[in-house]
Amino acid sequence: MSDLKLLDGVKVVDMSAFVAAPMAAEILAEYGADVVRIEPLTGDGIRGSGMTQNIYNGDAPLYDAINGNKRHIAVNTRTAEGMGVLWKLLETADIFICHMREKDMVKLGIDWDTLHAKFPALIYANTTGYGSTGPLASRGGFDMIAYATRTGLTTDVVPEGAHPYMPYQAQGDIPTGLYLSIGIMAAYINRLRTGLGDQVSCSLYGSGMMSAMVPILSGQKPYNNLWPKGRENVLPFSCMYRGSDDRWIMVAGLQWHKDWPRFVARLGLDPELVTKYPDYMTALAKSNEIIPMLDELFATKTVQEWSDILTEEDIPNDICLKFSEVADDPAVLTGNLMKEVEMPSGEVIKMPRTPVYFREAGAPDPVVAPTVGADTEVVLKECGYTDEEIKKMAEEKVVGLGDTWDRSMYVIKF
């Protein structure tokens, strides 16, 4: 569990699955809330998602990253006794997190109206595909659909006519969970004043629109800023160039009137280039002239050499890394952005930290999540269940005591 105590004393019940809503619960857990995660006895399916990521040794780094600081109980909520456990937990909970559509909440009797009537101070948080109202409210959705496809991301970040962009797993889930955690904490602060809970929901579609805010705003009439963008449509110093080592570097010299003269002087280029392209709008209009010239220039040095030159001139830039290279970037450990974690397989990997740092409290540590049902017995006793009652529920497969899940089913030996 987290060493941070920012939310110490806050009790959370997390009955969500997949990634977005569990991510929100993990933020609360990392900040010190006591988060009890309810899984089915067979475990959350995300535990086995490593097989879709070339992970065949049983490790589940994605599941760990979004669930590591929680206590885990295994409960069959499809039974009356299992739902009884949920109701017991909600009696003392401050926050309840799930990811259900309205019809499913009503079917289980855990819709907002029912819970608010019974627990008026409870904060009810939920993620959806397309929102709680409107024509798509009843429709399910994963982030590759609701967050990426419907918002234009898959179509408008690739050249015209090219195959649509394929989102990577959880690309939209993570920011959606972060947005939801912000809403939860705002509702909690409001409850401290009013004594009343609230229903907080966040959709993948809405989150995707926030992430694509600039092109969605400017693409509307009367602006008609249309995508996709070719290199000829961008500022020459807000563009990528290929170095002599066949790697790419991104230059972000957005202050053209300052960055361009420094660049020209540093490289010993013709001073007339400053006069010819003096400002942002001129450079943008003449990008079809400037970019080919810079293509030839950048092809004469490696991207690291260019990065050194640009950095010395205080022109923002960075080398285009591959996903597989990020964990080996010296900045990730020295900058406290990742932490080495030993996985159940014995392998040591680097896990990203939540990118919010508190000067006094520090940064929360990513950790490996407990196994399915690891904390069931302890949590049930806290709810008032006796040893005999717990034993009976375990025998009837209402709860799991850490023995209902086998990690080896996610291990494939070649």
**Between residues 122 and 332, which one has the greater pLDDT?**
122
Mean pLDDT of 230-242: 91
What ranges in 249-401 are assigned the alpha helix state H? 256-266, 272-276, 280-285, 287-298, 303-312, 323-326, 331-334, 376-382, 387-395
**Residues 191, 186: Cα–Cα separation, whole Å:** 9
Smallest Cα–Cα separation from 235: which of 249, 256, 214? 256
Q: How far apart are CA 147 and CA 354, in angstroms?
A: 21
| 329: number of Cβ within 10 Å | 15
Q: What is the pLDDT of residues 349-377, one digit of tens each?
A: 999 999 999 999 988 999 999 999 999 99
Report yes or no: 95 and 13 within 8 Å, Cβ to Cβ.
yes
Considering the segment(s) 233-318 as one domain, its CATH architecture is 2-Layer Sandwich (3.30)
Spatial separation of the C-alpha atoms in residues 30 and 19, rounded to whole Å? 16
Choose between 133 and 343: higher pLDDT: 343
Using the predicted structure, report yes or no on whether residue 108 has a pLDDT greater than 80. Answer: yes
Q: What is the CA radius of gyration of the chain?
A: 26
The whole-number pLDDT of residue 408 equals 77
β-bridge pairing 123-128 and 71-75: unpaired
Cα–Cα distance for residue pair 10/243, rounded to 1 Å? 52
pLDDT digits (tens, 9 = 90+) for 321-356: 999 999 999 988 788 899 999 999 999 999 999 999
Higher pLDDT, 407 or 36: 36
Helix axes 173-194, 204-211, angle to 10 degrees: 110
Mean pLDDT across 238-257 = 96
| Per-residue pLDDT reduced to its tens digit, 253-311 | 999 999 999 999 999 999 999 999 999 999 999 999 999 999 999 999 999 999 999 99
- Of all residues in the chain, the percent with pLDDT exceeding 70 is 100
pLDDT surpasses 90 at 403: no
Domain ranges of the chain: 9-211+336-408, 233-318
Mean of pLDDT over the chain: 94
CA dist 70 and 26 (Å) reads 7
Q: Is the pLDDT of residue 64 over 90?
A: yes
Which alpha helices (H) appear in 320-373, and where do they start and end?
323-326, 331-334
Query: Are the C-beta atoms of 230 and 299 separated by less than 8 Å?
Result: no
Residue whose pair of structure tokens reads 């990020």 in the numeric block: 326
CA distance linking residue 200 with residue 52, whole number of Å: 31
Residue 369: DSSP 8-state: P
Region 88-107: what's the mean pLDDT?
93
In terms of CATH architecture, what is 9-211+336-408? Answer: 3-Layer(aba) Sandwich (3.40)
The pLDDT score that the predictor gives to residue 414 is 64
**122-128 average pLDDT score:** 97
The predicted model gives 132-148 an average pLDDT of 91
Q: Is the pTM of this model over 0.85?
A: yes
